[in-house]
Amino acid sequence: VGGDELQLTLDVEIQHALEKTLDQRMVDCNAKAAMGILLDPYTGAILAMATRPAFDPNRYDEFPPELRKNRALIDVFEPGSSFKIVTASATLEHGLVTPDTMIDCEGGYYNPYGHLIKDVHKMGVAPFWKCFEESSNIAMIKLAAKLGTDRLDHWIRRFGFTMPTSKDFQFESTGLYPPMKKWSRLTMGSLPIGQEVAVTMVQLARAFGVICNGGYLIDP
């Protein structure tokens, strides 16, 4: 019978755990929506994918259309600090820093491009590993200045942002990313910390897969 041998990468236990977690985080954060993906970084298999609020597929016509789309593949959002893996990885790969390179985080306030940058965890001079651990905006912006615009743009693309992640997904968004010719004087103070860019959940999951699997960009 058709379908009898169909086997999905989705794992019912992991899927259930993800959905419960998203429901709880929406309560914890008083959020209007949530989405998540669990991705095998070595094979690209999507083990779980969920969005909230959801709909009952048995009664799909009773729910508004916006709840029936797969927002994990379509909706875009500003990645913020999660995007710092790009800047950090690139500067390490080019040998511009080591984990122990000391960086001056300016006491938590820095204005390199005409806009004041603040750190939540204010620090002075600290090693790179500590700056990354504390998610220092100032350290990442200084590292991006060492990279320069061309290399930062190159590494954003190498991590798979700006493009679809897989030919398996219909209607997948490519995200929002300005070409270099449209960068403003503030862009080098924004892009390294995940601002002035918008990504999809699956793009972000794939990028973190690169960190997990030793440097390989896989297709989900």
DSSP secondary structure string for all residues of 160-172: TTTS-S-TT-TT-
The mean pLDDT of the chain is 94
CA distance 168 to 122: 44
Partner residues linked to 103 by β-bridges? 126
Q: Please work out, in degrees rounded to the nearest 5, the angle formed at the alpha carbon of residue 110 by the alpha carbons of 175 and 133.
A: 65
Residue 208 has what DSSP assignment? H
- Which one-letter amino acid corresponds to residue 77? F
CA distance 214 to 186: 32
Dump pLDDT digits (tens) for 13-44: 999 999 999 999 999 999 999 999 999 999 99
Q: What is the structure's pLDDT at 69?
A: 87
Q: pTM of the prediction?
A: 0.89
**Per the structure block, which two tokens stand in for 23?**
């429901």
Instruction: Look at residue 156 and tell me whether its pLDDT is greater than 80.
Output: yes
Nearest-CA neighbor of 53 among 78, 25, 17? Answer: 25
**Per the structure block, which two tokens stand in for 9?**
């990468």
Helices first, then strands: H and E counts in the chain:
7, 6
CA distance 13 to 40: 15
Q: What is the structure's pLDDT at 187?
A: 96
CA distance 111 to 31: 32
Neighbours of 114 (CB within 10 A): 9
Q: What is the structure's pLDDT at 3?
A: 67
Residue 215 has what DSSP assignment? S
Instruction: Look at residue 7 and tell me whether its pLDDT is greater than 80.
Output: no
Terminal alpha carbon distance of the chain: 29
Give SS3 for 197: coil
Which of 18-32, 55-69, 96-110, 206-220 has the weakest average pLDDT?
55-69
